[in-house]
Amino acid sequence: MKDTEVKDNTTEEEPVKEAAEVPASSSSDEDEYDDIDDDDEPMDEGDEQTTCLFCTETSTSISVAIDHLDARHKVNLLELRRKFQMDQYSFIKLINYIRANKISAEQLLSAEQPFWQDEKYLQPGEYEPWLCYDYEDLKTDGASTQPSVLELQQRIAEQSQLLQQANEDMERMRNDYKALLQKVHADGEPKGSNQSVPRNIVCLDNEYFKSYSHFGIHHEMLSDKVRTSTYRSSLLQNEAVVRGKTVLDVGCGTGILSIFASKAGAARVVGIDNSDIVYTAMDIIRKNKVENVELIKGRLEDTDLPEPKYDIIISEWMGYFLLYESMLDSIIYARENHLKPNGIILPSRCTLSLLGYGDDTLYAEQVEFWSNVYEVDMSDLRKQSIEEPLMQVVDANFMLTEPEQIANFDIMTVDINYPNFTHQFSLKVTKPGRISAFVGYFDTLFELPSPVMFSTSPNATPTHWKQTVFFVDNPQVVKEGDVISGKITSRRHKEDVRGLSVDIEVFGKKRKYIVV
């Protein structure tokens, strides 16, 4: 809430008192002296002509210029202050940054971080009223800008409804998927079979793609600013790489990555998705008048594309614990069949890491909870609560070890065997505590001339991927300097082709987990 502005009326009354003391018979010399004094008085900020930051229009005062920014260019300084937590110095840097780089209002509005924070933008340049304005005085018009309590309640209700819908869609997707698996196993391969599950089973994939037709999952992904803004930056900050190239967007969903590629200068973009959401994406493309993007409904493995080969393949394929959903299979297929020689894939590389974790409260809520549920012993469910890893944003304060990279996937060379790996780890304890879980997370890298990346580490900004928590059944007390040695093994699940079986052998015991 903005503090109430308090004005000092004393300074406004002093000129009136001085005027009353001037004799009526003052000479012309005295008048001239008074004029000089008036000129020496500080000029009211609102009296100076001010040139717009984005066009050549000149306003009679900075207040009018600020209104012009809002009305003409949709740039609201108060909103900028809130978005980037700006102070007076930040605004001075912003003004000098705009003047030096001649950015447009659209570029400023699309910024996700304050690019003007370099101290060089505090260096004095040519004087203009923008540099002298007190931006702490920015205030809202209570009737038009400051939302009312009713409006805030409506916004909360709308967001709650969206969140509820997202949760329902995610739960429906999980149930549909499990029901399909049960049907496949009932009608097909015996559960005891040791044969590997064939990839790209059409009936299985149909249900998988159907789960992505729900609105909620796309709202969750698009509202993940870390995810979406990093993909946008990888393209828009590397326009020289994208300009004039053909781009294949695998699993295009709502088409947002295809649109980013078009904005970055791609000559042609083809997006493919087997989910019904692609029909909505087609409408989005038409509504936004993106003429060089073509979207196709179908499975990549069964579809003839408009062009056989592409310069760039882009996809957001990562799942929980990076590898869940096994969508990387489709990226490997696209690379082998649709990537031009010397073409690139975005993202370029992903790494998977593991660390020791000890949050007693979380352990009590998720594991020990089953010992007494309304005075009923449900400890039989304790084992299941451990076998199924928890997907949750964890508190970095309970990280007890340094993280260690357990897998590194170069997307240009990775093969279909990628889910199957083993890593011997040695985790160095950084502070004392009780190890009650191991936490997995991944980093995603776009290795380009202007490289970008994001991390799902507990130390990073949370994403919709969260972290993967592997609880242990016998927490161990550790002290700083200890080294926790063990082995983690990952392999493709024998029954759920998009799931993972993970074993962690540590503290003298092997624990089995299923990521589904």
The pLDDT value given to residue 214:
47
Where in the chain are all domains bearing CATH 2.70.160.11?
349-515
Fold exhibited by the domain 212-316: Rossmann fold (3.40.50)
Q: How confident is the model at residue 37 (pLDDT cuts 50, 70, 90)?
A: very low
Count helices and strands (H / E) in the chain: 16, 17
The pLDDT value given to residue 180:
60
Note the pLDDT tens digit of each residue in 376-412. 989 888 888 899 999 999 999 999 999 999 999 999 9
Q: How confident is the model at residue 148 (pLDDT cuts 50, 70, 90)?
A: low
Whether the predicted pLDDT of 231 surpasses 90: yes
The pLDDT value given to residue 177:
61
The pLDDT value given to residue 13:
41
Q: Sort strands 483-492 and 467-478 into parallel, antiparallel or unpaired.
A: unpaired
513 contacts 503 by C-beta, under 8 angstroms = yes
Q: How confident is the model at residue 168 (pLDDT cuts 50, 70, 90)?
A: low
- CA dist list (Å): 215 to 169, 220, 252, 277, 299: 7, 9, 14, 8, 20
Percent of the chain with pLDDT over 70: 77
- How far apart, in whole angstroms, are the C-alpha atoms of residue 232 and residue 230? 5
Whether the predicted pLDDT of 41 surpasses 90: no
Q: How confident is the model at residue 43 (pLDDT cuts 50, 70, 90)?
A: very low
- How far apart, in whole angstroms, are the C-alpha atoms of residue 312 and residue 335? 10
DSSP state of 463: -
The pLDDT value given to residue 250:
97
Please state the separation of Cα 290 from the chain's center in Å: 24
* Bridge partners, 502 (sequence order): 490, 513
The pLDDT value given to residue 174:
63
Query: What is the average pLDDT across 273-288?
Result: 92
- How far apart, in whole angstroms, are the C-alpha atoms of residue 117 and residue 136? 18
Whether the predicted pLDDT of 188 surpasses 50: no
Note the pLDDT tens digit of each residue in 260-279. 999 999 999 999 998 888 99
May I ask the CATH class of domain 349-515? Answer: mainly beta
507 contacts 474 by C-beta, under 8 angstroms = yes
- CA dist list (Å): 130 to 49, 96, 117: 10, 9, 17
Least confident of 110-119, 241-250, 411-420, 440-449: 110-119
Whether the predicted pLDDT of 38 surpasses 50: no
Task: Report which of 94, 124, 119 is spatially closest to residue 109, judged by C-alpha positions.
Answer: 94
Active site residues: 316, 325
Percent of the chain with pLDDT over 90: 55
Whether the predicted pLDDT of 34 surpasses 70: no
89's tokens? 């110095």
315 contacts 251 by C-beta, under 8 angstroms = yes
Query: What are the phi and psi torsion angles at 213 (to 5°)?
Result: -80, -15
- How far apart, in whole angstroms, are the C-alpha atoms of residue 67 and residue 53? 12
Average pLDDT score, the chain: 82
Whether the predicted pLDDT of 85 surpasses 50: yes
Whether the predicted pLDDT of 311 surpasses 70: yes
Note the pLDDT tens digit of each residue in 464-500. 999 999 999 999 999 999 999 999 999 998 877 778 9
Whether the predicted pLDDT of 215 surpasses 60: no
280 contacts 252 by C-beta, under 8 angstroms = no
The pLDDT value given to residue 160:
75
